[in-house]
């Protein structure tokens, strides 16, 4: 019989199926994804890296107000969406731009929020992607609500709720886990532990054995994965999604990764860490290890690699061109969407503004 500890506690070490040198390793519980899945995942990793780099350049050119990069965390970003079906939902944070684009949301619309324009920039219902959440952990409550509603309606839906290590120190994180566990909501809580909450290191947030261990307090099974190993992430997240869909309730997954770049362009990471700390993580790059594996298996030749890079460059170019276009704001939108029906006061203010604008143009 399985004990409570065996059912709920995560593995002693993060699950890893391909190491940093591209060498595969057998695991008793998790198998390698199919070759085609890994080739497709590699293409998405390359595209995600190019989008991260392009977005960083657009910040320096003044076309984006801010960009929290996921450079080095692309495996987490891509895996989180590859394991979902169309009817599932993704609840992202401000750092999950690549994940949103991987889900199929238009890249220009995805970055509209970080450009400082027009709410979330995209229609959440088109791809079942909630607006990016800047406040820590608030989206987890919303994710549980959607999952609980889907279960009540008998829908075959799983919700992937993303958060970082910093969010696990927020009350919303614990409330979301508790509610989801009590009502068996089909949610996969996916923590991208990149070791820093802006400048606060993980050691200043918790002394728990791992963040995945926090699930046992709520009766939520936890698991850990190497956050830079796409194969391991697909296996662990895929199993978690399957369990949630099968009615086994919420799952808690922690990916061990690292924030290679600064928190955002407004942060100076050299004030709280040095290059020696970052260097080992550069050797664990998710792209390099998967590329080495695919080349060794004869699944990635020069021709296919050129196609993948060309497609990524094309996506980055489209992003650059799209965000270079000047936005023509419509002042009348100030009064739209505040209420389903405008109040008499809003109508009066809107008319006043239109009159003022007409006088300026006259």
pLDDT per position as a tens digit, 59-71: 999 999 999 999 9
* Same structural domain, 310 and 356: no
* Same structural domain, 316 and 343: no
DSSP letter at 339?
S
* Same structural domain, 227 and 250: yes
pLDDT at residue 164 greater than cutoff 90: yes
* Same structural domain, 307 and 243: yes
pLDDT at 321: 96
* Same structural domain, 352 and 269: no
pLDDT at residue 4 greater than cutoff 80: yes
* Same structural domain, 110 and 259: yes
pLDDT at 47: 98
* Same structural domain, 108 and 217: yes
pLDDT digits (tens, 9 = 90+) for 72-84: 999 999 999 999 9
* Same structural domain, 291 and 336: no
* Same structural domain, 217 and 338: no
Q: How far apart are CA 114 and CA 109, in angstroms?
A: 10
Decide: 220 and 177 in contact? Cβ < 8 Å.
Answer: yes
**What mean pLDDT is reported for the chain?**
95
pLDDT at 338: 84
Instruction: Write down the residue that tokens 């928190």 correspond to.
Output: 263
| Domain containing residue 278: CATH number | 3.40.50.970
Question: pTM, whole model, 2 decimals?
Answer: 0.94
Question: Which strand (E) or helix (H) includes residue 161?
Answer: strand 159-164
* Same structural domain, 302 and 349: no
* Same structural domain, 292 and 356: no
Quote the longest CA-to-CA distance of the chain: 82
pLDDT digits (tens, 9 = 90+) for 97-151: 999 999 999 999 999 999 988 777 899 999 999 999 999 999 999 999 999 999 9
**DSSP strand pairing (251-256 vs 187-193):** parallel
Question: Which strand (E) or helix (H) includes residue 50?
Answer: helix 35-60
Q: Which pLDDT band, with edges at 50, 70 and 90, does 336 fall under?
A: confident
pLDDT digits (tens, 9 = 90+) for 253-270: 999 999 999 999 889 999
Three-state SS for 111?
Answer: helix
Sign of CA dihedral 45, 76, 87, 34: positive
pLDDT digits (tens, 9 = 90+) for 280-332: 999 999 999 999 999 999 999 999 999 999 999 999 999 999 999 888 888 88
Give the residue numbers spanning the domain of 23: 4-329
Provide mean pLDDT across the span 15-37.
97
Q: How many domains does the chain have?
A: 2
Q: Is 289 exposed, middle or buried (0-12, 13-18, 19+ CB in 10 A)?
A: buried
Q: How far apart are CA 18 and CA 230, in angstroms?
A: 8
Q: How far apart are CA 72 and CA 177, in angstroms?
A: 28
pLDDT at residue 18 greater than cutoff 70: yes
pLDDT at 1: 65
* Same structural domain, 126 and 195: yes
Q: Which two tokens stand for residue 217?
A: 């307090």
């Amino acid at each position: 019989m399985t004990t409570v500890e065996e059912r709920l506690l995560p593995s002693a070490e993060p699950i890893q199926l391909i190491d940093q040198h591209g060498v595969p390793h057998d695991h008793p519980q998790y198998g390698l994804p199919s070759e085609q899945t890994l080739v497709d995942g590699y293409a998405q990793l390359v595209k995600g890296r190019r989008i991260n780099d392009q977005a960083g350049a657009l910040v320096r050119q003044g076309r984006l107000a801010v960009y929290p990069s996921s450079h080095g965390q692309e495996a987490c970003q891509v895996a989180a969406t590859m394991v979902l079906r169309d009817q599932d939902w993704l609840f992202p944070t401000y750092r999950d731009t690549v994940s949103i684009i991987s889900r199929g949301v238009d890249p220009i619309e995805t970055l509209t929020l970080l450009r400082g324009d027009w709410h979330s920039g995209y229609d959440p219902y088109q791809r079942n992607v909630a607006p990016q959440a800047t406040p820590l952990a608030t989206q987890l409550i919303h994710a549980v609500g959607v999952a609980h509603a889907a279960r009540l309606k008998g829908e075959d839906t799983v919700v992937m709720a993303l958060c970082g290590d910093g969010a696990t120190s927020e009350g919303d994180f614990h409330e979301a886990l508790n509610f989801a566990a009590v009502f068996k909501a089909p949610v996969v809580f996916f923590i991208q532990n990149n070791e820093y909450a802006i400048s606060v290191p993980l050691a200043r947030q918790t002394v728990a054995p791992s963040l995945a261990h926090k699930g046992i307090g709520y009766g939520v099974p936890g698991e850990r994965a190497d956050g830079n190993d796409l194969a391991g992430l697909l296996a662990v997240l895929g199993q978690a999604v399957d369990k949630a869909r099968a009615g086994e309730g919420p799952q808690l997954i922690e990916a061990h990764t690292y924030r290679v770049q600064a928190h955002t362009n407004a942060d100076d990471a050299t004030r709280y860490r040095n290059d020696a700390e970052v260097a080992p993580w550069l050797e664990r790059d998710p792209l390099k290890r998967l590329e080495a594996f695919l080349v060794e298996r004869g699944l990635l030749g020069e021709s296919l690699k050129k196609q993948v890079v060309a497609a990524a460059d094309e996506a980055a170019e489209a992003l650059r061109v799209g965000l270079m276009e000047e936005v023509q704001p419509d002042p009348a939108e100030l009064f739209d969407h505040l209420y389903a029906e405008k109040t008499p006061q809003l109508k009066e203010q809107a008319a006043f503004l239109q009159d003022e604008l007409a006088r300026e143009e006259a």
